[in-house]
């Protein structure tokens, strides 16, 4: 198993699989948050279920954390390997002519997304953990009503935070536009379905971040 992760092909496979895992999580995450656009009560109920279900809290959430850390660490390792290889290849040809700007700068979009994730955790995850496990309040209530919708709206009152989130989602879109295609290539998906997969990847990379931006703007202007 250690040889798998130290080989070039093994690292690319691991990176691709972790990317698909996180992409699947993004679908669930955006779906839950999109509920807040239509129903405060439904969002509160769904959030309370996700936040108190033992399977989600003690199995899926740790797996997600490990997946996030693994993806970023593996990404930095691959970037370091690629950069060392480019020193030679760029001396022989024009590397910029053979690759897109996004493919050459995935590390920078990844770094911004990592910073964005840290801020996101500080905004939502850490206060939630503090409320449930340090304060000891598992009820999800605030002044007699579920607090989730109220807390979500409070976070998006400051315009600077809304702007930061929107910029973060734009970088996420750029990262996904190349990452989706790259993940399939790493797994050897080059067949009659490739064109359709690329189309789906572009739609995914644009729509998921766009819905997140709409959610942020909605709660800023409707608090």
pLDDT digits (tens, 9 = 90+) for 186-204: 777 666 667 788 889 999 9
3-class state of residue 157 by DSSP:
coil
96 has pLDDT over 60: no
Spatial distance between the Cα atoms of 20 and 124, rounded to a whole number of angstroms: 24
Q: Is pLDDT of 122 > 80?
A: yes
| pLDDT-derived band at 117, boundaries 50, 70, 90 | very high
List the domains of the chain with CATH numbers: 2-221 (1.20.1300)
Residue 83: what pLDDT?
74
Q: What is the pLDDT of residue 2?
A: 52
- Rounded CA-CA distance 46/35 in Å is 9
Examine the pLDDT at 90 and tell me if it is beyond 70.
no
The predicted model gives 164-178 an average pLDDT of 93
Q: How many Cβ atoms from other residues are within 10 Å of residue 148's Cβ?
A: 22
Residue 30 confidence (pLDDT): 97
Local confidence band at 94 (pLDDT 50, 70, 90 cut-offs): low
pLDDT digits (tens, 9 = 90+) for 146-157: 999 999 999 999
For the range 44-49, what are the long-range contacts, defined as Cβ-Cβ under 8 Å and sequence gap of 24 or more? Answer: 44/140, 44/145, 44/146, 44/148, 44/149, 45/146, 47/140, 47/146, 47/148, 47/149, 48/140, 48/146, 48/148
Contacts of 21 (CB under 8 A, 6+ apart): 67
pLDDT class of 12 with cuts at 50, 70, 90: confident
What is the pTM assigned to this prediction? 0.89
- pLDDT of 77 reads 86
The string of pLDDT tens digits covering residues 18-58 is 999 999 999 999 999 999 999 999 999 999 999 999 999 99
In angstroms, the Cα distances linking 143 to 4, 42, 140 are 53, 18, 10
Q: Is it the case that residue 1 has pLDDT exceeding 60? A: no
Whole-angstrom distance, CA of residue 164 vs CA of residue 169: 9
């Amino acid at each position: 198993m250690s040889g798998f992760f130290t080989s070039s092909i093994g690292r690319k496979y691991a990176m691709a699989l972790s990317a698909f895992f996180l992409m699947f999580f993004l679908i669930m995450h955006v779906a839950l948050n999109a509920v807040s656009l239509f129903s405060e009560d439904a969002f509160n109920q769904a959030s309370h279920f996700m936040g108190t279900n033992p399977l989600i809290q003690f199995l899926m959430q740790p797996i997600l954390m490990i997946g996030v850390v693994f993806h970023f660490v593996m990404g930095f390792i691959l970037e370091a390997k690629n950069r060392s290889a480019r020193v030679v290849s760029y001396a022989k040809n024009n590397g910029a002519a053979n690759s897109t700007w996004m493919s050459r700068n995935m590390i920078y979009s990844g770094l911004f997304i990592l910073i964005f994730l840290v801020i996101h955790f500080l905004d939502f995850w850490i206060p939630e953990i503090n409320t449930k496990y340090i304060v000891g309040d598992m009820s999800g209530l605030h002044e007699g009503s579920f607090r989730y919708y109220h807390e979500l709206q409070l976070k998006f009152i400051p315009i600077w935070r809304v702007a930061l989130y929107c910029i973060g989602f734009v970088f996420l879109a750029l990262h996904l536009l190349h990452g989706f295609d790259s993940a399939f290539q790493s797994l050897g998906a080059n067949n009659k379905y490739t064109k359709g997969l690329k189309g789906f990847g572009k739609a995914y990379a644009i729509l998921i971040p766009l819905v997140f931006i709409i959610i942020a703007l909605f709660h800023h202007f409707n608090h």
